[in-house]
C-alpha cells in the first residue's frame, strides 16, 4: 500500500512552486516540436531583415493576405499586411471586435549582429584584397575570425537599379573569412583583454589574392576582384558607397545533439521569436481582437531610424486603422497589449557564476516571461505591471502553456534591452517573452526545439483569447 502524503507534502504541492521541464511533463512533445521546427530551420536561412521580409510576403499571399489599403474597412477574419521599406513587415488578422476595444500585438526583430561593410570597403594590402567592415550590434569580436562568412545585401547602381547579393552559402560558392594571428606569434596578443584581442579595425574580410594581368596597373589584385564583381553584378567601386552589404556566418541551421532536441544556427536572436509569431499570426483565423504581428529592424543598434521601432511607422499604421473605424489612435493604444518577442539568456552550466538560479531561465522549460530588462537598477526598462503579467499568465494557464519567469543574469553582471521600451511609449501595456538561448550573439547560437514550439503556442493563445483587458 502506497504511503499517504503527509500534511506538509500536500501543503507544499498547494503552496510552493515546482517548475518542471516540458520533457518531464510530456516526453513525446519533442516529436511535435521537431516537426514544427523544420519550417523554422528553413526560416533561419534568411539572415538579414531584408531577406526575412522578402521570404515572408509570398507565404502571406499564399494564406490569403492582401496588401493593406489605407481607408479600407476590413471585415472580421480578413488578413492584410504592410511592408515598410523592405525591412519591416506588419501582418494583421481583423478581429470580431472593433479596434477601439484594443488590438493584440507581437513584435520581434529580424536584424541580428553581423559585420556591415564600410562605405569604402574595398582595399588591397600585401597583394591580398579585403572588404573593410564595421560591426553591427553587440559582438565578441574575436568570435568572428576564422569563421566561414557569406556576403549578403543590396547594391544600388547609378541608374537606380537594385542588385541583390547572396554569395558564400551554397557549397559551390567561394568562402570568405577574417584571418587571425597564428598562435606561434600571438604571445603579446594573448596578454590582452578579450575586448582587445581582436579590434574593430582588424575585422577585414579576405576576398581574393590573384593579380590582374597588366603590369601598368598598381593595384592588380583589387582590380581583378572588381572585374569579377562588375561582370557578375554590374557595379563599380563607386556604387559601393550607397550599398547595404554585410558578412554573416555561412553555417546552415542544424539539429544539435544525439537526441536532436536543440538547433544550432546563426541569427536565432531574434529569428526564433520572429518565426514563432509569424506562424501564430498565419494560424489565427477569426480572432476576437485584431492581431498585429511585426517584423522590426534595427533592434540590435537601438531601434533608431525609419525602420526601427522608435520610428512612427507602427503608430501611423495603427492610426490609419483607428481613423477608418472612427476612433482615436490613443484610445486603441490604451486598450491594447503587446508581446515584445525577444530572446533571453538560457542557463549555461559552463558559466554558472553569472546566473542567479532562482530567477534565470532553463532550456526546455518553455518561453521566458520577463517582467523587466535593462541594466543595473532596472535602467532603460519597460517593467510590466502586475496586472499585465497576470493577464498573460491567465491566458497561458487556460491553454496549458508552459512558461518560466526569468531575467538576464545577475543584477550587477550586465544587462540588455529590448523593443518593449519603444512599444510602451505608445501607452500599450507590454511584456517581454522569448526563448532561452545559449551563446547569444555568437556566430552560432543554440535554441531548444521544445521552447520554440511552445513560444508559438503561447503567442497563438494570446492572439485567440477572448479574455478582455480590464486594467
- The predicted-structure confidence for 257-316, as pLDDT tens digits, reads as follows 999 999 999 999 999 999 999 999 999 999 999 999 999 999 999 999 999 999 999 999
Q: Are residues 93 and 281 in contact, defined by beta-carbon separation less than 8 angstroms?
A: yes
Residue with cell 569604402: 120
3-17, 23-37, 245-259: least confident range:
3-17
Domain CATH number, residue 244: 2.30.250.10
- Residues 383, 322 share a domain: yes
Say how far apart CA 269 and CA 288 lie, in whole Å: 30
Please report whether residue 421 resides in a domain: yes
Tell me how far apart the alpha carbons of residues 245 and 119 are, in angstroms, rounded to a whole number. Answer: 10
Residue 260 lies in a domain: no
What residues form DSSP beta bridges with 166?
Answer: 152
Query: Domain holding 427: CATH number?
Result: 3.40.630.10
In a domain, 137, yes or no: yes
The tens digit of pLDDT for each residue in 229-244 reads 999 999 999 999 999 9
- Examine the domain organization and report whether 435 and 358 are in the same domain: yes
Same domain as 189, residue 270: no
Residues 102 and 220 in one domain: no
- The angle formed by the CA atoms of residues 445, 373 and 418, to the nearest 5 degrees, is 60
Paired strand residues for 245: 153
pLDDT at 443 over 90: yes
Reported confidence tier of residue 1, pLDDT bands at 50, 70, 90: low
Q: What is the mean pLDDT of the chain?
A: 96
Specify the pLDDT at position 360: 94
Whether residues 215 and 308 fall in one domain: no
Question: Does 96 share its domain with 214?
Answer: no
Is residue 258 one of the residues assigned to a domain?
no
Together in a domain, 296 and 425: yes
Backbone angles phi, psi at 63, to 5 degrees: -100, 25
Q: Please say which residue of 197, 219, 249 terminates a domain.
A: 249
What one-character DSSP code corresponds to residue 333? H
184 located within any domain: yes
**Residues spanned by the domain of 175:** 114-249
301 in the same domain as 363: yes
Tell me the per-residue pLDDT of 342-383, one tens digit each, with 9 for 90 and over: 999 999 999 999 999 999 999 999 999 999 988 888 888 899
Is 278 in the same domain as 348?
yes
How far CA 366 is from CA of 4, 269, 444, 449, in Å, comes to 32, 16, 21, 10
Domain end point (choices 249, 276, 293): 249
What is the distance between the terminal CA atoms of the chain, rounded to a whole angstrom? 50
Write down which residue in 218, 249, 280 finishes a domain.
249
Residue at 448 is within a domain: yes
Paired strand residues for 374: 416
Residue spans of alpha helices (H) in 90-249 = 194-197, 220-233
- Sheet of strand 445-448, all strands in order from the earlier edge strand to the far edge: 254-256, 262-265, 445-448
Q: Is residue 404 part of a domain?
A: yes
CA dist., res. 314 & res. 367, Å (int): 25
Residue 64 is predicted with a pLDDT of 97
Q: Provide mean pLDDT across the span 97-118.
A: 98
Other CB atoms within a 10 A radius of the CB of residue 329 amount to 19
Q: Which of 43-57, 69-83, 102-116, 401-415 has the lowest mean pLDDT?
A: 401-415
The dihedrals phi and psi of 46, each to the nearest 5 degrees, come to -90, 105
Within this chain, do residues 122 and 245 fall inside the same structural domain, yes or no? yes
What local confidence, expressed as pLDDT, does residue 471 receive?
93
Torsion of CA 365, 366, 372, 373, to 10 degrees: 80
**How many other C-beta atoms are found inside a 10 Å radius of the C-beta of residue 402?**
21
Looking at the structure of the chain, the number of domains it has is 2
pLDDT of residue 2: 62
Residues 90 and 122 placed together within one structural domain of the fold: no
Residue 34: pLDDT above 60?
yes
**What per-residue confidence (pLDDT) applies to 374?**
84
Residue 359 resides in a domain: yes
Strand partners, 338: 105, 430
pTM over 0.75: yes
Percent of the chain, pLDDT > 70?
Answer: 100
Residues 196 and 341 in one domain: no
> What's the confidence (pLDDT) of residue 414?
81
Amino acid at each position: 500500500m502506497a504511503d499517504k502524503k503527509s500534511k506538509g507534502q500536500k501543503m507544499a504541492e498547494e503552496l510552493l512552486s515546482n517548475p518542471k521541464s516540458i520533457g518531464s511533463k510530456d516526453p513525446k512533445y519533442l516529436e511535435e516540436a521537431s516537426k514544427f521546427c523544420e519550417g523554422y530551420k528553413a526560416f533561419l536561412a534568411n539572415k538579414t531583415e531584408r531577406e526575412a521580409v522578402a521570404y515572408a510576403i509570398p507565404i502571406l499571399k499564399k494564406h490569403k493576405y492582401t496588401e493593406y489599403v489605407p481607408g479600407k474597412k476590413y471585415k472580421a477574419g480578413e488578413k492584410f499586411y504592410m511592408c515598410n521599406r523592405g525591412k519591416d513587415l506588419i501582418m494583421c488578422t481583423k478581429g470580431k471586435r472593433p479596434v477601439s476595444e484594443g488590438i493584440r500585438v507581437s513584435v520581434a526583430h529580424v536584424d541580428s549582429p553581423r559585420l556591415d561593410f564600410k562605405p569604402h570597403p574595398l582595399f588591397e594590402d600585401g597583394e591580398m584584397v579585403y572588404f573593410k567592415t564595421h560591426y553591427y550590434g553587440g559582438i565578441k569580436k574575436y568570435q568572428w575570425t576564422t569563421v566561414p562568412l557569406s556576403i549578403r545585401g543590396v547594391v544600388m547602381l547609378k541608374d537606380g537599379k537594385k542588385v541583390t547579393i547572396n554569395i558564400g552559402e551554397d557549397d559551390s560558392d567561394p568562402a570568405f573569412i577574417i584571418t587571425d594571428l597564428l598562435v606561434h606569434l600571438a604571445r603579446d596578443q594573448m596578454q590582452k583583454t578579450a575586448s582587445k584581442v581582436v579590434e574593430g579595425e582588424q575585422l577585414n574580410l579576405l576576398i581574393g589574392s590573384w593579380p590582374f594581368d597588366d603590369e601598368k596597373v598598381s593595384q592588380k589584385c583589387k582590380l581583378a576582384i572588381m572585374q569579377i564583381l562588375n561582370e557578375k553584378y554590374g557595379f563599380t567601386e563607386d556604387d559601393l558607397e550607397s550599398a547595404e552589404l554585410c558578412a554573416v556566418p555561412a553555417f546552415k541551421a542544424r539539429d544539435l545533439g544525439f537526441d536532436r532536441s536543440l538547433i544550432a544556427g546563426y541569427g536565432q536572436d531574434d529569428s526564433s521569436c520572429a518565426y514563432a509569431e509569424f506562424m501564430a499570426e498565419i494560424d489565427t483565423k477569426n480572432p476576437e481582437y485584431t492581431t498585429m504581428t511585426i517584423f522590426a529592424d534595427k533592434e540590435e543598434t537601438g531601434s533608431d531610424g525609419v525602420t526601427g521601432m522608435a520610428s512612427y511607422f507602427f503608430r501611423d499604421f495603427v492610426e490609419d486603422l483607428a481613423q477608418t473605424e472612427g476612433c482615436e489612435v490613443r484610445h486603441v493604444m490604451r486598450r491594447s497589449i503587446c508581446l515584445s518577442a525577444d530572446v533571453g539568456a538560457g542557463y549555461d552550466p559552463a558559466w554558472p557564476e553569472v546566473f542567479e538560479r532562482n530567477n534565470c531561465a532553463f532550456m526546455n522549460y518553455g518561453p521566458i516571461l520577463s517582467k523587466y530588462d535593462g541594466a543595473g537598477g532596472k535602467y532603460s526598462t519597460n517593467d510590466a505591471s502586475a496586472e499585465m503579467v497576470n493577464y498573460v499568465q491567465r491566458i497561458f494557464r487556460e491553454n496549458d502553456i508552459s512558461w518560466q519567469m526569468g531575467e538576464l543574469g545577475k543584477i550587477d553582471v550586465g544587462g540588455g534591452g529590448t523593443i518593449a521600451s519603444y512599444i510602451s511609449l505608445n501607452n500599450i501595456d507590454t511584456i517581454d517573452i522569448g526563448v532561452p538561448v545559449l551563446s547569444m550573439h555568437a556566430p552560432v547560437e543554440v535554441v531548444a526545439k521544445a521552447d520554440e514550439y511552445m513560444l508559438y503556442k503561447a503567442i497563438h493563445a494570446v492572439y485567440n483569447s477572448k479574455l478582455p483587458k480590464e486594467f
